[in-house]
Amino acid sequence: MPVFVRHRRRVLATGLVLSLVVSFSGCASTPEAAANAADQKAYGAKMAQRGFWREALFRFDRAVKLAPDDPEILNNLAVASEAVGETARALAAYKRALELRPDDAKIKRNYARFAEYYTSLQRASGPTTTPK
């Protein structure tokens, strides 16, 4: 079984230690943007729970555009990016989420799992840098 498929199943099987919460942290600039970002995040979470990763990624991407400093949305974007195989995008989103909320246990746990997976991919494909 390809590594990506195994990893994707692992992501699904672990219950997605995502912070797929519907609450909104208020990082958008206007109340309308905040409400729309919260709606996008909530819908993205539903799609992720159902395994529709491309749709989840689309929704989280829209939410990030409305609330670029929301670490929960960035975490969700990272997990969805990882699930569809966009590891560079996942790495960037995890790093930004951790910058914004370095003590968040869910983000740290998701990033640690991703870093393990990312490192194994890098080892399989040859020498390159690993996430820091």
pLDDT for residue 44: 97
Give the domain range for residue 12.
3-125
Residues of the chain predicted below pLDDT 50? 1, 3-5, 9, 12-26
Q: Is residue 130 part of a domain?
A: no
Q: Is residue 132 part of a domain?
A: no
pLDDT for residue 74: 98
pLDDT for residue 117: 85
Tell me how far apart the alpha carbons of residues 32 and 24 are, in angstroms, rounded to a whole number: 12
Tell me how far apart the alpha carbons of residues 90 and 113 are, in angstroms, rounded to a whole number: 12
Q: Is residue 112 part of a domain?
A: yes
Q: Is residue 86 part of a domain?
A: yes
pLDDT for residue 12: 45
pLDDT for residue 114: 94
Query: For residue range 13-27, what is the model confidence (pLDDT) as tens digits?
Result: 344 444 444 333 445
pLDDT for residue 26: 41
| pTM of the full structure | 0.74
Count structural domains, the chain. Answer: 1
Tell me how far apart the alpha carbons of residues 69 and 38 are, in angstroms, rounded to a whole number: 13
Q: Is residue 102 part of a domain?
A: yes
DSSP states along 2-37: -HHHHHHHHHHHTT------------SSSHHHHHHH
- First-to-last C-alpha distance (Å) of the chain: 28
* CATH number, position 74: 1.25.40.10
